[in-house]
C-alpha cells in the first residue's frame, strides 16, 4: 500500500514536471539510476541530467539544480556539478530508509520546481537459509522448512528447489506469510534420493542454502496404526493381546513400534520394552498385567532404522484381563454387642470388601465358619460384609473366605476370646500426624508377636455419635495411613488394637486432625468477679465441633474505651484468668481468641466496669461516719441534758403564771379571785368590758415588735385610768403578738391556759359618744391561742348572746382565712397579698365587720369609703356596748356587706393612735 502510494506520487511528479506541449510528455530532466534499492550502510550517488530544452526555456544550468529528500533540501556539500547539464548527489552510509529523492531547479533565481524524482529503498541482501529439513507425512506431499536469518527489509522470495540426478522438480515458492516453509506440489517418490535446497532472493542478492540429499522414505511420518482389538485369555489372567493394522509401507519396509498401556484410572503410561516391538508386526501380547483389570493401550510406529519420525499415537483402546481367584483374604474384625440373654453374646463379625486389585474378579459371596473349642463347625454364606451371631461366652475361632467365579481367597482367621478374657499388651508410642493429605498413624509394636493390627477411627463430635470406620494392617506394619474419606478440621479418635493369636490386645487411643483450621467460633469470655483493680475472667472450653484443631492457647484482649489494647496469652488448659492492674471505675472491653496451629478466632466482646470502690470500702467509710455522727449527737444530747437549766433559761423566759398572778395588785378595782370565774365576773362586770382576741400560735409577728407593742401598751396602760385584765398562759417557744381587743364584751370563761387574752379597759361612752381617751391593756401572757374550731360553740354562743337578752354580748373573733378565700375567688392580686400580709388584722377587722353587719342596715354596706367612715359610728350602734367604744386604728378594713358580696381591702390608713400592723 505504501509502495503503491509512493509510485503514484512519483508518477504525479513526472507528470507535473514535464512539458506537455506537443504530443508526448517529456520530462524536463532524468535521474540516474531510475530507482534504487540500496544496501544499508553503503554509499549511493544519483545524477540529475537536465534536458537542453528545459535549460533553454528556463535559463537554468546544473548549478541551479538542488536535491530534496522527502521535501527536505539536501545540503549542497553533497552536490557535485559534473558539467553544465548534470549534477550529482552522494549519500554516505545509507541507513534504513524508504524515501523519495527529487531533482529540483531554481528558475529565474526564485521559482523552485521539481523536475524528476526517484525512490530510494534501503535493505539487506538475504542471508543463507539454515537448518533446512523436510518431512513427508504419509499420503501427503513433502514439506520442508528452514530458518530465514536476518531481516532484509526488502521483498525477499524463498524458493525450495528439488531435483534428482536425472530430473528437476517443480520449484516450490514459499508464501509471503509463511516464508520459512513450503510444501512441494508433487507426490514424493520413495526410495529415490532427492536433493533439496532453498534459494532466497531479493533486489540486493540471491543466496542458496546448503543442499540436502535424502530419500523421502527416511523423512516419513507414518499414519498412526489403528488398534483393531484387545483380547484377554481365559488361561492367563495376566495378559492381553493387542492387534492393529498399520501403514501400507509395512509390506516393503520394516517398522518398529512403541506400545504403551495403563490401567483405566491411572495417569501414567507403562512402556512395552522397545526391543520387543522393533520389527514389523501386527499384534503384541502384553504380559504381567493384573487380573480383572481394565487396561488402555496406544501404539505408534516409525521406520525400524530410526530414520524419519514417530507417527502420532493411535486412538486408545482398552481391554479387561480375565478374572483370577482373590489374591488376599479380606480384613476381618468383630464387635461384641450387648446382649440381654444370659450366657450368650451377640457378636457382629464384619469384614471389608476386597479392593479390585485383590478381589481379582467379581466377589460372589463370603463364607464364614465359626468353631467353638472342640465342637462342630458352623458355616455361613453371606453376601453382605457383616454377620451377627449369638455366641456363648466361650472362645471361638472365626474364618472368612471370599469367592469369585474363579476360586476362593485364603481364609482370614479371627479369634473371639472368651468373655472373661483380659486384653493385654497394647501398642506403645502411638502417634498420629497428617502428611501428604493423609493421616498417618505410627506405633511401636508390643513385645509379643502380633498377627495383625486393627485401626478404628471416628469423628469426635457433640452432635453425632462416634461411628467408627476401621482397617486392618499386617502384623509387621507399624506405620500406616487411614484409608478412609477423612475430612479436614474434624477431630478423629483413632484406636489401634493389636491382634494376637489368642485374641485382641488392649486398644490404645489418640486424637488427631487431618488438617487443622482456626476455630470456627471464639470462646465467650465473661467476668466471674470484678474488683476495683482486677477482674477474674472465666470461659468455657470450646466444643469439639468448633475447635477445628487442637487449642494451643488463648489470648485475652482487653482495653478501655480510649486505651490501647492489651493482649495476654493464656495456656489452653485454663478456663479462668485474673486481669490485674485495672483502673477503677472504668469500662473495659474484653474479648478472647482461641488458637489452633492454623490460626485463631475471636470470641464476642464482653464489657465490664470496674467499681469505684473496692468491696467493703464504702462500708469502711460509711460506718465510721455514722458512728461519729451518732456519737456527736449523743454528746450533744448529753450536753443539753447536763446544761438544761442554762438552756431553759435562755430559751424559755420565765413567764409568770397567770394563775398565780394577782390582778388585784396592779388593778385594785378588780378582785383577782374573780378573774377566772365567769360566774363571778358577770355580776361584777358593770364597769369592766373585756374583749378576747384569739391569735394563732404560729403567728410570725416579730417578737421585738411584740415587745414594743407591749411596751406601748404598758405605757398606755400606765396612762390609762381604766380597768384591764390580762389572762392567759403561754406555752414554751411560741411567740405571741399584740392584738387589739374590740370593745365587745369579753368572756373571761373562755380564757383557758392556751389563750392569751387581751383586755381593753375602756371608758366607753354610751351610745354615740366616743370616749376621748382610749386605753389598751395587754396581758403579759404569751400562751398560744386556741383555734376557733376548738370551740365552735363559742360562735354560737355569740349569736345566742347577741340575739337574746340585754346582757353584754360575748364576741369572739375567729380566724376565718380559709372561708374567706373560698368565698372570694375573684379577689385581686393586690388584695390577696395584702390579705396575706395582714391576715390577723383582717381577721380582726372582718370579725368586726361581721359583727357590724349583723347590726347595721343595708345602706351601710354600699360603699367602702362610706363604710370606712361609718366605722366609728358602728360602735355607737353596737348593742350591748355600754358606753365603751373601742377606738382602734384601722390599717386595712375589709368591707363585708353580706355573704357573696365582694370584699376588698382598703388602703392602710393610720388613724390616730399610731399602731400599724406589719
What proportions of the chain, in percent to the nearest 5, are helix, strand and coil?
20, 35, 45
Beta carbon nearer to another protein, 223 or 904: 223
From 137, 189, 183, 145, select the one nearest 167 (Cα to Cα): 189
Greatest extent of the chain over all pairs of C-alpha atoms, in Å: 193
Q: Are 154 and 206 in contact (CB under 8 A)?
A: no
Distance CA 802, CA 812 (A): 11
CB of 303 to another protein, least distance (A): 11
Residue 894's beta-bridge partner residues? 905
CB atoms within 10 A of CB 245: 12
CB of 201 to another protein, least distance (A): 24
Beta carbon nearer to another protein, 212 or 873: 212
Beta carbon nearer to another protein, 194 or 727: 194
Pairing mode, strands 317-320 and 294-303: antiparallel
Beta carbon nearer to another protein, 195 or 201: 195
Beta carbon nearer to another protein, 167 or 805: 167
CB of 248 to another protein, least distance (A): 7
Please give the grid coordinates belonging to residue 655. 413567764
Q: Are 53 and 67 in contact (CB under 8 A)?
A: no
Please give the grid coordinates belonging to residue 848. 368586726
CB of 136 to another protein, least distance (A): 13
Q: Are 392 and 354 in contact (CB under 8 A)?
A: no
CB of 145 to another protein, least distance (A): 21
Beta carbon nearer to another protein, 93 or 251: 251
Beta carbon nearer to another protein, 175 or 248: 248
Half-sphere exposure of 828 (CA within 13 A, CB side): 8
Beta carbon nearer to another protein, 247 or 709: 247
First-to-last C-alpha distance (Å) of the chain: 128
CB of 197 to another protein, least distance (A): 12
Beta carbon nearer to another protein, 163 or 276: 163
Alpha carbon of 173 to those of 178, 195, 325, 877: distances in Å? 10, 16, 67, 163
Three-state SS at 698: coil
- The region that residue 882 occupies, defined by phi over 0 for left and psi between -120 and 50 for alpha, beta otherwise, is beta
Please give the grid coordinates belonging to residue 705. 415588735
Q: Are 114 and 102 in contact (CB under 8 A)?
A: yes
Helix axes 839-853, 829-837, angle to 10 degrees: 100
> Is the peptide bond prior to 33 cis by the omega test (within 30 degrees of 0)?
yes
- The residues binding another protein (CB under 8 A) are 164-167, 186-187, 189-193, 195, 213, 215, 217, 248, 251-253
CB atoms within 10 A of CB 415: 18
Beta carbon nearer to another protein, 195 or 854: 195
Burial class (CB in 10 A: 0-12, 13-18, 19+), 525: buried
- Residue 758 CA, chain-centre distance (Å), reads 88
Residue 414's beta-bridge partner residues? 398
Residue with cell 355600754: 882
Q: Return the sign of the alpha-carbon dihedral for residues 416, 420, 421, 423.
A: positive
Beta carbon nearer to another protein, 83 or 251: 251
Beta carbon nearer to another protein, 166 or 665: 166
Beta carbon nearer to another protein, 60 or 196: 196
Q: Are 526 and 537 in contact (CB under 8 A)?
A: yes
Alpha carbon of 169 to those of 138, 184, 213, 256, 266: distances in Å? 20, 9, 14, 32, 50
Distance CA 16, CA 384 (A): 105
CB of 186 to another protein, least distance (A): 7
Amino acid at each position: 500500500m505504501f509502495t503503491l502510494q509512493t509510485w503514484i506520487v512519483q508518477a504525479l511528479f513526472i507528470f507535473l514536471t514535464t512539458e506537455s506541449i506537443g504530443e508526448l510528455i517529456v520530462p524536463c530532466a532524468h535521474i540516474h539510476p531510475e530507482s534504487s534499492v540500496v544496501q544499508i550502510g553503503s554509499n549511493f550517488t544519483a545524477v540529475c541530467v537536465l534536458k537542453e530544452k528545459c535549460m533553454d526555456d528556463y535559463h537554468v544550468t546544473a548549478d541551479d539544480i538542488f536535491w530534496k529528500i522527502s521535501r527536505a533540501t539536501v545540503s549542497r556539500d553533497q552536490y557535485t556539478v559534473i558539467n553544465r547539464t548534470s549534477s550529482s548527489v552522494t549519500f554516505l552510509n545509507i541507513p534504513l530508509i524508504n524515501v523519495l529523492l527529487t531533482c529540483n531547479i531554481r528558475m529565474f533565481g526564485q521559482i523552485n520546481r521539481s523536475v524528476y524524482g526517484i525512490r530510494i529503498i534501503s535493505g539487506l541482501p538475504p542471508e543463507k537459509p539454515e537448518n533446512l529439513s523436510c518431512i513427508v507425512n504419509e499420503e501427503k506431499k513433502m514439506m520442508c522448512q528452514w530458518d530465514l536469518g536476518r531481516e532484509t527489509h526488502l521483498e525477499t522470495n524463498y524458493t525450495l528447489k528439488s531435483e534428482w540426478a536425472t530430473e528437476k522438480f517443480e520449484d516450490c515458492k514459499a508464501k509471503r506469510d509463511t516464508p520459512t516453509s513450503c510444501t512441494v506440489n508433487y507426490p514424493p517418490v520413495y526410495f529415490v534420493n532427492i536433493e533439496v535446497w532453498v534459494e532466497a532472493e531479493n533486489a540486493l542478492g540471491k543466496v542458496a542454502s546448503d543442499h540436502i540429499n535424502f530419500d523421502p522414505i527416511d523423512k516419513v511420518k507414518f499414519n498412526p496404526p489403528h488398534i483393531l482389538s484387545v483380547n484377554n485369555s481365559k488361561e492367563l489372567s495376566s495378559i492381553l493381546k493387542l492387534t492393529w493394522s498399520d501403514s501400507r509401507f509395512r509390506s516393503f519396509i520394516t517398522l518398529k513400534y512403541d506400545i504403551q498401556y495403563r490401567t483405566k484410572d491411572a495417569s501414567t503410561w507403562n512402556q512395552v520394552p522397545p526391543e520387543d516391538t522393533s520389527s514389523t508386526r501386527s499384534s503384541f501380547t502384553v504380559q504381567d498385567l493384573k487380573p480383572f483389570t481394565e487396561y488402555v493401550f496406544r501404539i505408534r510406529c516409525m521406520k525400524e532404522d530410526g530414520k524419519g519420525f514417530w507417527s502420532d499415537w493411535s486412538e486408545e483402546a482398552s481391554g479387561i484381563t480375565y478374572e483370577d481367584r482373590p489374591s488376599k483374604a479380606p480384613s476381618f474384625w468383630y464387635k461384641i454387642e450387648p446382649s440381654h440373654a444370659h450366657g450368650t453374646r451377640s457378636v457382629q463379625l464384619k469384614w471389608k470388601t476386597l479392593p479390585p486389585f485383590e478381589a481379582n474378579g467379581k466377589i460372589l459371596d463370603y463364607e464364614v465358619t465359626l468353631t467353638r473349642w472342640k465342637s462342630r463347625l458352623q458355616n455361613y454364606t453371606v453376601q453382605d460384609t457383616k454377620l451377627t451371631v449369638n455366641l456363648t461366652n466361650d472362645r471361638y475361632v472365626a474364618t472368612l473366605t471370599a469367592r469369585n467365579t474363579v476360586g476362593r481367597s485364603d481364609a482370614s482367621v479371627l479369634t473371639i476370646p472368651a468373655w472373661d478374657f483380659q486384653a493385654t499388651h497394647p501398642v506403645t508410642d502411638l502417634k498420629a500426624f497428617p502428611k501428604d493429605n493423609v493421616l498417618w498413624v505410627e506405633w511401636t509394636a508390643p513385645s509379643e508377636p502380633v498377627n495383625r493390627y486393627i485401626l478404628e477411627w471416628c469423628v469426635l463430635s457433640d452432635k453425632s455419635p462416634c461411628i467408627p470406620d476401621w482397617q486392618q494392617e499386617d502384623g509387621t506394619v507399624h506405620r500406616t495411613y487411614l484409608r478412609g474419606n477423612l475430612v479436614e478440621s474434624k477431630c478423629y479418635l483413632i484406636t489401634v488394637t493389636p491382634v494376637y493369636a489368642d485374641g485382641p490386645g488392649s486398644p490404645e487411643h489418640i486424637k488427631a486432625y487431618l488438617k487443622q483450621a482456626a476455630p470456627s467460633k471464639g470462646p465467650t469470655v465473661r467476668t466471674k468477679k470484678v474488683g476495683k483493680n482486677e477482674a477474674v475472667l472465666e470461659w468455657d472450653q470450646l466444643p469439639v465441633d468448633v475447635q477445628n484443631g487442637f487449642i494451643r492457647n488463648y489470648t485475652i484482649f482487653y482495653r478501655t474505651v480510649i486505651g490501647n489494647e492489651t493482649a495476654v496469652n493464656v495456656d489452653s488448659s485454663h478456663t479462668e484468668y485474673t486481669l490485674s492492674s485495672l483502673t477503677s471505675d472504668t469500662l473495659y472491653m474484653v474479648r478472647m481468641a482461641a488458637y489452633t496451629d492454623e490460626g485463631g478466632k475471636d470470641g464476642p466482646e464482653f464489657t465490664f466496669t470496674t467499681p469505684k470502690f473496692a468491696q467493703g470500702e464504702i462500708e469502711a467509710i460509711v460506718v465510721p461516719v455514722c458512728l461519729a455522727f451518732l456519737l456527736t449527737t449523743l454528746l450533744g444530747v448529753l450536753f443539753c441534758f447536763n446544761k438544761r437549766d442554762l438552756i431553759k433559761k435562755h430559751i424559755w423566759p420565765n413567764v409568770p403564771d397567770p394563775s398565780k398572778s394577782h390582778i388585784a395588785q396592779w388593778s385594785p378595782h378588780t378582785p383577782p379571785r374573780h378573774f377566772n370565774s365567769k360566774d363571778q365576773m358577770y355580776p361584777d362586770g358593770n364597769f369592766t368590758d373585756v374583749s378576747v382576741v384569739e391569735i394563732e400560735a404560729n403567728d410570725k409577728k416579730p417578737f421585738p415588735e411584740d415587745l414594743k407593742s407591749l411596751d406601748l401598751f404598758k405605757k398606755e396602760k400606765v396612762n390609762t385610768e381604766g380597768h384591764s385584765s390580762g389572762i392567759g398562759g403561754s406555752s414554751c417557744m411560741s411567740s405571741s403578738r399584740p392584738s387589739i381587743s374590740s370593745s365587745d364584751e369579753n368572756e373571761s370563761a373562755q380564757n383557758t391556759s392556751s389563750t392569751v387574752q387581751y383586755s381593753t379597759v375602756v371608758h366607753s361612752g354610751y351610745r354615740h359618744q366616743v370616749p376621748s381617751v382610749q386605753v389598751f391593756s395587754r396581758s403579759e401572757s404569751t400562751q398560744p391561742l386556741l383555734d376557733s374550731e376548738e370551740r365552735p360553740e363559742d360562735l354560737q354562743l355569740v349569736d345566742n348572746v347577741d340575739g337574746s337578752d340585754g346582757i353584754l354580748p360575748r364576741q369572739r373573733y375567729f380566724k376565718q382565712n380559709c372561708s374567706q378565700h373560698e368565698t372570694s375567688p375573684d379577689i385581686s392580686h393586690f388584695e390577696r397579698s395584702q390579705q396575706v400580709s395582714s391576715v390577723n388584722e383582717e381577721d380582726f377587722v372582718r370579725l368586726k365587720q361581721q359583727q357590724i353587719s349583723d347590726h347595721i342596715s343595708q345602706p351601710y354596706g354600699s360603699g367602702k369609703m362610706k363604710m370606712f367612715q361609718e366605722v366609728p359610728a358602728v360602735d355607737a350602734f353596737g348593742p350591748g356596748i355600754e358606753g365603751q367604744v373601742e377606738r382602734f386604728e384601722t390599717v386595712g378594713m375589709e368591707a363585708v356587706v353580706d355573704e357573696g358580696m365582694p370584699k376588698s381591702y382598703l388602703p392602710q390608713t393610720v388613724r390616730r393612735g399610731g399602731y400599724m400592723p406589719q
